[in-house]
Structure 1
Amino acid sequence: MHGANYRVGKGQPFCRKEFIKGNPQIKIAKFQGGKRANYDYCVQLLINEKVQIRHMAIESCRLAANKLLEQTTGETGYFSRLRIYPHVLLRENKMVATAGADRISEGMRRAWGKATSLGARVARGQCIMEFYVNAPHLEKAKKALSSACVKIPGTATIKVIPWDQKMSP
């Protein structure tokens, strides 16, 4: 239910958390991981369509990619970074579905809904996640991002950028 309802971001995003009581906590544990150093390549995960991604999908994407790359390269063989932040509040108007609910429920009249989740609106071609790796681990990073792209809505592309030694992530 959640993925189908919130995949396309319609209208103006609602970001004012000070007006919402009991706003949801973000599920993303870390936005950066690994070791900062000079690497040979930057491998990016780009989204191909305009979509809204929930924070639980972002976290599962990050976990899948980091786990696969950490098993093959170790903790110090790469540096990962999430490039999006979920700040849009997603609300849901829960309806009562029991006997006699038609007398209790208001229907769509004055429907505001409770804040249930957070989401990030992503434009077409925007980078979601990136890995910085050396040449021996390039194929492993591509494989890790391809396994992570099934966790997010829409289709994704993996882009490899040769990274200059003078630059650092």
Structure 2
Amino acid sequence: MAYYKEKGIFDTFFDHRNSLIIQYKNGDISKREFLEGNFDFVQDMKVKPFKRIDSYEKGMYNYQYYNVLAKYYTMLAKDMRKEGKHDKYYIYYLNQGNYYYNEKDRATLHLLRYLNFVNVDAYFIKVESRFLRNKLYEIVLKDYQYAIFHSKSRWLLDILKKEDVFIEGVKKSLIDEYINETY
């Protein structure tokens, strides 16, 4: 993708990401189309996650990279389960999704450490899914637009509490419609 080489990796990435967010918010694309658009774009860019996080942009890219892959492979696993066949593919895709979710949580921690946990809020969110109730929480980087992360990770939750950025109680997600839409 030559375009990002002219414009820059981060400008290209964030412009595309923001465009998809706006299209989703406007109802122009579904959650599934949003996920597929992100996956295709990350694959086309051929930019792997950064080993060292020394900027917000690198940390956000890593989070998004792993989040996109985690959701995409989990979506494929759900598709396999719905079809009721191909158990080995279901298990493979599910394992891939879980692996990338763990990497996403590690990327989140690296970014939070880079930011020294400053201007960060985290809290459990209201969800329609019984499976996610009292498990899914939101992490908001208050100094950045669209910097809203989600996790179920217990180890990350423990760190957020230790760093005193986790607020007890349950709140409505800043992106409630997206969180509660199935795909």
Per the normalisation by structure 1, the TM-score is 0.25
Could you say which structure has the larger radius of gyration? Answer: 1
Higher relative contact order (CA 8 A, sep 6+): 1
User: With structure 2 as the length reference, what TM-score do the two structures score?
Assistant: 0.23
